[in-house]
């Protein structure tokens, strides 16, 4: 199948987990891949697997939290494959902790990798794709952006990625460059990062999964977003959770919108009579929860 023939794509954090699955499927569909990972051996192993399967790939190891490294990734793609048509901002880390246990070090590192790294790469990718006439940037959010136990800091970085995707997709309208985000779900090294906290979550979270899907189950959505069939898709967060494919709602002003000249007393009365009962469910909600 040649859905991505002629495409050249950078995928960060593609030495393992979801990124490796995206890289292998996109390469099998004809795309040339720049495989990035902070672990050079892991990146090279994925390149080896792609080449053994008849595909084209190079390794460009490095740390995406280093701002200038984004340009190195873009240059590597264009210099090696003659073009760049897509960029998958997949690399991310998770340092789970309950509110009392969050450390400055872990929070700063998540922000550096998940947010600063994504911003730097998205900027470098958007600039180059614009100059080349268009293309697709895929960022990676998470169901945790809706809130989850022990994932406050991580969720904040992923919510930020969703927000910048909405903003930059608006700015990029009409340029031929589109920017979307994926909200994946898979059994990877990250998903099993802390068994104790996962056990706490399983008792408290709103959505329960019997078993996490394999990384490969997420890859067709990324391949689709990288291909020209998805030219009209922009600014969306797409959720893939095993057999469930859906769009994630953008934050919206909820109904009812009460109108008045608001004094303290009137605000208190609005909550007592209407708004207290309208509070939103916490955590990732399914459509039937909103009925």
Residue 64 engages ligand NAD in binding (rule: CB under 6 A): yes
Give residues 243-262 in contact with ligand NAD (rule: CB under 6 A).
none
Q: What are the distances in angstroms from CA 150 to CA 98, 206, 208?
A: 4, 14, 16
Closest by CA to 245, choosing from 276, 224, 271, 268, is: 224
Q: How far is CA 200 from the centre of its chain?
A: 24
Tokens of 287: 């459509």
Q: Report the residue from 10, 18, 138, 238 that binds ligand NAD according to the rule CB under 6 A.
A: 18
Per the document, the length of the chain is 291
Residue 169 engages ligand NAD in binding (rule: CB under 6 A): no
Count the Cβ atoms, other than its own, within 10 Å of residue 285: 15
d(CA 132, CA 239): 29
Which residue, 249 or 261, is less far from ligand NAD as judged by CB?
249
Close Cβ partners of 102 (under 8 Å, ≥ 6 residues apart): 152, 153
Residue 76 engages ligand NAD in binding (rule: CB under 6 A): no
Residue 240 engages ligand NAD in binding (rule: CB under 6 A): no
Count the Cβ atoms, other than its own, within 10 Å of residue 231: 11
Residue 216 engages ligand NAD in binding (rule: CB under 6 A): no
d(CA 103, CA 96): 10
Encoded one letter per residue, x for contact with ligand NAD by CB under 6 A and - for no contact, window 105-144 reads: --------x---x----------------------x-x--
209 is catalytic: no
Tokens of 247: 């769009």
Site stretch for ligand NAD (CB under 6 A), options 34-42, 71-79, 163-171, 264-272? 34-42
Instruction: Tell me phi and psi for residue 72, to 5 degrees.
Output: -60, -40
Residue 269 engages ligand NAD in binding (rule: CB under 6 A): no
Site stretch for ligand NAD (CB under 6 A), options 31-39, 49-57, 76-84, 275-283? 31-39
Residue 96 engages ligand NAD in binding (rule: CB under 6 A): no
Please give the positions annotated as active site. 154
- Chain residues binding ligand NAD by CB under 6 A are 12-13, 15-19, 36-39, 42, 63-65, 90-93, 113, 117, 140, 142, 184-186, 188-191
């Amino acid at each position: 199948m040649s859905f991505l023939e002629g495409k050249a794509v950078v995928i960060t954090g593609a030495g393992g987990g979801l990124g490796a699955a995206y890289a292998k499927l996109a390469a099998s569909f004809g795309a040339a891949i720049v495989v990035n990972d902070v672990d050079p051996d892991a990146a090279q192993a994925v390149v080896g697997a792609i080449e053994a399967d008849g595909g084209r790939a190079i390794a460009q190891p490095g740390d995406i939290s280093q701002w200038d490294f984004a340009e190195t990734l873009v240059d590597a793609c264009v210099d090696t494959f003659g073009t760049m048509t897509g960029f998958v901002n997949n690399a991310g880390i998770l340092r789970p902790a309950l509110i009392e246990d969050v450390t400055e070090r872990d929070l700063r590192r998540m922000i550096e990798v998940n947010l600063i790294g994504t911003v730097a790469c998205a900027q470098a990718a958007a600039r180059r794709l614009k100059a080349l006439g268009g293309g697709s940037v895929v960022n990676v959010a998470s169901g945790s952006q809706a809130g989850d136990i022990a994932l406050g800091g991580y969720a904040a970085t992923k919510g930020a990625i969703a927000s910048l995707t909405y903003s930059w997709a608006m700015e990029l309208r009409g340029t031929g460059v589109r920017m979307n985000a994926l909200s994946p779900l898979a059994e990877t090294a990250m998903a099993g990062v802390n068994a104790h906290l996962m056990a706490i979550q399983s008792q408290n979270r709103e959505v329960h999964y019997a078993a996490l899907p394999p990384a490969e189950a997420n890859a067709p959505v990324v391949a689709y977003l990288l291909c020209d069939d998805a030219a009209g898709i922009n600014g969306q967060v797409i959720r893939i959770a095993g057999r469930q494919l859906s769009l994630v709602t953008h934050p919206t002003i909820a109904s009812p919108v009460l109108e008045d000249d608001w004094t303290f007393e009137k605000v208190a009365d609005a909550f007592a009579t209407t708004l207290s009962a309208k509070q939103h469910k916490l955590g990732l909600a399914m459509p039937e929860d909103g009925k």
